A and B are shown apart, each in its own frame.
Chain A
Amino acid sequence: MSDLLYGEIENDLRASVREVLADKAPWTSVLAGTEKDEPYDAPLWRAVAAQLGCAGLPVPEELGGAGATWRETAVVMEELGRSAAPVPFLGSAVIATAALLAAGERELLPRLAAGERIAVLAVPFGTAPYDVPVTVEDAGGALTGEVAGVADGMAADVLLVPAGDGLYAVDATDARRTAVTSLDMTRRLADLAFSAAPARRVAEGAGAVRAALRTGAAMLASEQLGLAERCLDDTVAYVKTRYQFGRPIGSYQGLKHRLADLWASITQARAVARHAASCVAAGDEDTPIAVAVAQAHCSAVALKAAEECVQMHGGIGFTWEHPAHLFLKRAKADSIALGTPDRHRAALAALVDLPPA
């Protein structure tokens, strides 16, 4: 059984990340950012990725990383989830980094680890780790084709594009990029088009892409955990202070029982997300099952937490001026990202030998 607790180093890391986020990403500035054209919060990204060194946590020291593991990265994801932070961490520091690690790439990886460059995998954000669509053709190192709905596509300096039978690095300025008006305003999508774009081959086959998406799905579970905890914390604080009919609404059993159930679900999400993170960190053979369970479970918990947060805040929870909607939009988008719960359950059916009817 993997270690499901947090170590001292992880607790220290969490405290540092939380401090930076409290300073640079209070919800008011996250909300203000959603009305701007910038595709992400660049100063926040520099602080988390470069200054704190979070982008290079799972990268070996000889490639410019911190030589830690995906377990520490998962803790960063929890904290980013608590803030719905508008930074391309999942895309660049997790998925693209995992792809390059799997490919054994040595040129771009150190620059991603240092937080100097942002790379994203050019697949639709809803892609599950099980069946990766290839919609771009490779003609002698020049790529042609389209990919719709790529997360943080506008933030990227480099696009990692599955094409033909391999994975290619393309300079983002060589692609035609169209910003998408996205449900999740804190992690926006872009549509990409390539027309004989010059490309460098970084991996053969689809193995690196599948490993990257699997790692991404494991780390997303920790983001969902952090988001769910934030929603519960905010809601509990609110129902203690909001009085109706002469008593705090948190004294009504109708709300108390729902919050107790939510708390219990979140304790489960924590165990499940920690197990998935430990499995990808150790390359454990249980990884495919752990990841499918984590996504099937944590997607639902985060969404439930965000929905309860809106509902229990009443009228104020429905307004633009309250952060609840930022979490709801992130939670719903996350539940579709990297495979819906249904898609992961279907994968699980094969993994644990429970075949369909």
Chain B
Amino acid sequence: MSTAPPDADELSRRVGEFLAAHDPAETAPQEFLRARFDAGLAWVHYPEGLGGLGAPRHLQPAVDRRFAEAGASTNHPERNGIGLGMAAPTILAFGTEEQKRRFLRPLWTGEELWCQLFSEPGAGSDLAALATRAVRDGDAWTVNGQKVWTSMAHEARWAILVTRTDPDVPKHRGMTYFVCDMTAPGVEVRPLRQMTGEAEFNEVFLTDVRIPDEHRLGAVGQGWQVSTTTLMNERVAIGGGAVPRESGMIGVVAALWRDRPELRTPGLHDALLRAWVETEAARLTGARLRQQLTAGQPGPEGSGAKLAFARLNQEVSGLELELLGEEGLRYDDWTMRRPTEVDFTRRSPGYRYLRAKGNSIEGGTSEILRNIIAERVLGLPGEIRVDKDVAWKDLPR
């Protein structure tokens, strides 16, 4: 049965029917989510049978809104950002039919959380320099290496993993991409404590880990192309609804300024107003980006938005500490803990200041984003590459 993809009205009708048949108040959360997936109302732009209906992508927010208004259970997207934002689109683009059927449903329902085994101690921004080896052994592969900065590895059931399978060719050509079972023997997750005191990230050691060949994603040697799909999806992931004025860090500092007149100084007043204006500009830019997406004209503004967010969050969280003066010298808690999500607002100002330092590093450093804007948006010439035609094993490291 091949029909035209549903439009907004048709989707609205289907959501209405679904909610009538599955009262959110009466249905167990897990059952509700599975049924929503099976009805094609999970991510409507995915194909039929894989949680979607082949509808245009921009119709998704309206569907999510309807479910939220009906008080439906959520799949806790804040806990599974890597699964939903990166693993799923990569599996959809490169997975076999079997892989798509095996992984997408429990990923979407939140029954299986995912992490991303990409960065290594010697390969962060230069991801293609990675050294984790995968060696073919019959119907399986044997993997050895070390990954780092792995958010949520301590909670994840599965990982997307990129490895080196051929060290004799230039670095971009000898990589292969896998789905890795985090419960497999030889996978060891160690907390990596960061400057805030907590361990939101991990180091992951892979020692003789066996991965069956049916868990390879894409062809042998195609790992770079598959990874690029993952990373592109990391950067297009943007928030759903409109953000109100004075959201986030500027709201925290503005409230402090209003509540505590005794802390005010002329210099901080000017700094606060400058930050307020910049935050408002960033907010309007985000709103414009969403309007472009809804109108079906996606622009490249997303990379600029991440740059601006990182800079502002660092600047304004620093301003909060200065405004607090003596109080800013106190920290809430240095005890190591393992959060399941980043909780920016409920911790102390000192935590916010320190955590914000990660914003210009995680998910692509600000320097890499500037290169992307310069080369892909402005069309400026690429960096001179000294490693392009050199076998990976001959590269200095």
Contact = CB atoms under 8 A, between A and B. Distances in A.
B242 A1 contact: yes
B269 A357 contact: yes
Contacts of B281: 268-269, 271-272, 293, 297
B280 interface: yes
Contacts of A260: 307, 369-371, 373-374, 377-378
A346 B276 CA distance: 12
B73 to A, nearest CB: 29
B282 interface: yes
A275 B377 CA distance: 24
B347 interface: no
A352 B276 contact: yes
Contacts of A349: 269, 273
A268 B285 contact: yes
Interface in B364-383: 367, 369-371, 373-375, 377-383
Interface string B276-319: 11101110110110011001010101011001100000000000
B125 to A, nearest CB: 13
A348 B384 contact: no
A267 B301 contact: yes
A268 B301 CA distance: 9
A239 B268 contact: no
A88 interface: no
A355 B278 CA distance: 18
A224 B373 CA distance: 22
B297 to A, nearest CB: 8
Contact of B284 (A240, A257, A271): A271
A256 interface: yes
B373 A247 contact: no
A88 B264 CA distance: 43
B272 interface: yes
Contacts of B277: 293, 296-297, 345, 348
Contacts of B268: 357
B378 A251 contact: no
Contact of B270 (A263, A271, A275, A345): A345
Best-buried of A240, A269, A272, A348 by chain B (most CB within 10 Å): A272
Contacts of B381: 240, 247-248, 250-251
B273 A354 contact: yes
Nearest to A233: B378
B257 interface: yes
B237 to A, nearest CB: 18
Given A268-B281, A268-B308, A297-B277, A251 B301 contact: no
Contacts of B335: none
Contacts of A239: 380
Nearest to B306: A264
A264 B257 contact: no
A156 B69 CA distance: 58
B274 interface: yes
Contact of B291 (A5, A293, A342): A5
Given A1-B242, A247-B384, A354-B272, A272 B284 contact: yes
B70 interface: no
A357 B384 contact: no
B102 interface: no
A297 B269 contact: no
B278 A354 contact: no
Interface string B342-382: 00000000000000000000000001011101110111111
Contact of A357 (B264, B287, B379): B264
B359 to A, nearest CB: 15
B396 interface: no
Contacts of B257: 354
A324 interface: no
Contacts of A248: 381
A332 B270 CA distance: 21
Interface in A236-276: 236, 239-240, 247-248, 250-251, 253, 255-257, 259-261, 263-264, 267-272, 274-275
Nearest to A256: B374
Contact of B287 (A1, A251, A267, A297): A1
A5 B379 contact: no
Contacts of B384: 247, 251
A263 to B, nearest CB: 6
A256 B380 contact: yes
B388 interface: no
Contact of B304 (A3, A5, A264, A356): A264
Nearest to A258: B370
A345 B288 contact: no
A4 B288 contact: yes
25 contacts: A3-B291, A250-B380, A251-B381, A260-B307, A260-B371, A260-B377, A263-B377, A264-B308, A267-B285, A269-B281, A271-B285, A271-B288, A296-B273, A296-B277, A342-B270, A345-B274, A345-B277, A346-B273, A353-B258, A354-B272, A355-B264, A356-B264, A356-B266, A357-B268, A357-B269
Given A256-B380, A274-B284, A353-B258, 11 more contacts: A251-B384, A257-B371, A260-B373, A263-B304, A264-B308, A267-B285, A271-B285, A271-B288, A354-B273, A356-B264, A357-B265
CB-CB nearest 4 A-B residue pairs:
A264-B304, A256-B374, A251-B381, A260-B373
